[in-house]
Amino acid sequence: MNLRVSLCQTEAAWRDPIGNLRRAEPLVAAAAADLVVLPELFATGFDVAAAAAEPEGGPVADALRGWALRYGRAIAGSVAVREADGTLRNRMYFVRPSGEAEWYDKRHLFRPGGEAAAYAPGSERRVVHYRGWRLLLLVCYDLRFPVWSRCRGDYDAIVCCAAWPAPRRAAWRTLVRARAIENQCYVAAVNRAGADPGIVYAGDSALVDFRGETTAEAGCGVQTLTATWDREALEAFRARFPAWRDADGFRLEE
């Protein structure tokens, strides 16, 4: 019933996917967890140029599948993908230990960074089922939009990968905890460390419980966080304090 989750807060060398994969694999291998989460665009840096995207099932996605099979744990992280028709997606893969993959295409594209001009947004929420848990996948900027991430009784935890710049670190820390509180869910939020050209990342990856309390938090460098999510504690809290029953109804429209 419990789930052990690790966040690998990595650095990403600009436009060096081979080197970034080589540096990330030991962190994945060492993480003693059922689920390992890597940052947004961990293999390329936050590069929205079309040349940075790989074809569907490309080398980064293939590496995630290989690691899941080799180390016997689920792995999540986002990859720049170019679909067969040329459409670009910021795609968060969730790869099971069997190598089977599901994915979520980032809905809210970061307009100030040029992502919205280059990439196409996703249109569907993705809740994956894994080891008895229901996990909502989000990517970075999605955290700013509570309607999209609102729990409708359909998930137990949010898994978010990000490349969130240091100047907005206060917003990151606040939003991660706000999403946990308002949805009465666990949150695993991994941010990256290091820098891209002109952008510095603060890290601040965090594992937060359904009360909004921090169970593990990173600093600014390369680091792995691990925590165990307790299913019985989550269900007991939701039963004892059923704020979810008083949530307002709504309908999403394009």
Give the catalytic positions in this structure.
40, 106, 140
Cβ atoms of 20 and 8 within 8 Å: the answer is no
Cβ atoms of 24 and 54 within 8 Å: the answer is no
Query: Could you give the CA distance from residue 153 to residue 75 in angstroms, rounded to a whole number?
Result: 24
CA distances from 184 to 48, 124, 232 (A): 34, 22, 13
Query: Could you give the CA distance from residue 6 to residue 188 in angstroms, rounded to a whole number?
Result: 8
Which residues lie across from 81 on neighbouring strands? 54, 89
Cβ atoms of 9 and 193 within 8 Å: the answer is yes
By DSSP bridging, strand 101-105 and strand 88-95 are antiparallel
Please name the residues in contact with 3: beta carbons below 8 A apart, sequence gap of 6 or more.
34, 35, 130, 131, 132, 133, 157, 228, 229, 231
List the Cα angle 97/235/156 in 5-degree steps.
40
